[in-house]
């Protein structure tokens, strides 16, 4: 088995930081160097003042990686710019894209927990784990992860896709929603489907998962089969929904998402059982 390209870590190693990659985060944007058709994460040598107090992320191909959080009004240095992290997908590989997402989530946690939510005193980094701990009452604060479900509903050779009401003219995708307190993942799927499109489902099966930092989520994917009912969208989360076949697809999500993986897997199944010609 080959060595993973990225190996996470917590405590910064005792070696120079200059050669390390430095993920400088401003909201959902990453600081990148300008280049011809390329976006490169800078090394710490370019930003020594920021690197000094940055959080260690781990190593990527044996190169150290750090992250630092920047205020929203921070201007980019000369020759650099802030780039929406999602825009990195076409210009970097999947591992580096995922590392950028990890950096965003850790930067947000670091900014939000500088002070204790219980007593208001400053917090400090806890060695050996990803945590900030109150210096007075010792309450720990960890990066928050919000579990969410995402499900592709199928009926024969067609699938139910919906368009989110908050994004007019955007693509159609699978249904998704956050897990509520006291719910199992399966209960969440059933509730979200009923609330958003009004249909019943059966044969719920686990598909896979994907960390999604644009909301601190862990997306847990499922497939399900249609069991009955007519489509009735809620009009709040979902603007429209319909059944689509392989040869009548709307605009669908980009390949980076688990929603697209769900759709592509089903399309492959349909094509495999469809006779050629």
Q: Is 129 annotated as a binding residue?
A: yes
Q: Is 142 annotated as a binding residue?
A: yes
Residue 151 in tokens: 């499900």
Q: Is 65 annotated as a binding residue?
A: no
| Euclidean distance between CA atoms 97 and 215, whole angstroms | 16
Q: Is 259 annotated as a binding residue?
A: yes
Exposure string over 206-231, b if 16+ CB within 10 A, otherwise e? ebeebebbeebbebbbbbbebeeeee
Q: Is 186 annotated as a binding residue?
A: no
Q: Is 86 annotated as a binding residue?
A: yes
Q: Is 134 annotated as a binding residue?
A: yes
| Euclidean distance between CA atoms 54 and 149, whole angstroms | 33
* 80-84 and 123-125 beta bridge pairing: unpaired
User: Which class for 62: exposed (0-12), middle (13-18), buried (19 or more C-beta within 10 A)?
Assistant: exposed
Q: Is 176 annotated as a binding residue?
A: yes
At residue 204, φ and ψ (nearest 5 deg) are: -70, 130
What residues form the annotated binding site? 86, 116, 119, 129, 134, 137, 142, 176, 192, 196, 237, 259
**Binding-site annotation, residues for a divalent metal cation:** 176, 192, 196, 237
Residues marked as binding for substrate? Answer: 86, 129, 142, 259
| Residues that constitute the known binding site for Zn(2+) | 116, 119, 134, 137
């Amino acid at each position: 088995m080959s060595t993973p390209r990225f190996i996470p870590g917590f405590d910064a190693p005792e070696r120079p930081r200059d050669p390390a990659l430095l993920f400088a985060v401003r909201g959902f944007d990453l600081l990148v160097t300008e280049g011809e058709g390329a976006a490169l994460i800078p090394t710490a040598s370019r930003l020594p003042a920021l690197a000094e107090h940055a959080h260690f992320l781990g190593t990527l191909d044996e190169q150290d990686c750090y992250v630092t959080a920047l205020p929203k009004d921070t201007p980019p240095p000369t020759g650099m710019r802030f780039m929406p992290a999602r825009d990195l997908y076409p210009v970097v590989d999947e591992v580096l894209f995922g590392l950028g997402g990890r950096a965003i989530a850790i930067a947000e946690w670091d900014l939000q927990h500088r002070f204790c939510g219980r007593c208001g005193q400053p917090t400090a980094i806890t060695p050996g784990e990803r945590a900030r701990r109150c210096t007075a009452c010792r309450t720990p604060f960890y990066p928050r992860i919000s579990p969410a479900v995402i499900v592709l509903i199928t009926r024969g050779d067609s699938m139910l896709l919906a368009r989110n009401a908050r994004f007019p003219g955007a693509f159609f995708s699978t249904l998704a929603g956050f897990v509520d307190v006291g719910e199992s993942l399966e209960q969440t799927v059933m509730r979200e489907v009923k609330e958003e499109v009004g249909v019943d489902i059966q044969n719920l099966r686990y598909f896979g998962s994907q960390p999604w930092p644009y909301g601190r989520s862990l997306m847990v994917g499922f497939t399900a089969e249609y069991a009955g009912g007519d489509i009735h969208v809620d009009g709040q989360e979902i603007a429209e929904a319909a059944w689509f076949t392989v040869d009548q697809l709307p605009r669908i999500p980009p390949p980076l998402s688990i929603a697209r993986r769900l759709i592509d897997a089903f399309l492959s199944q349909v094509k495999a059982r469809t006779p050629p010609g």
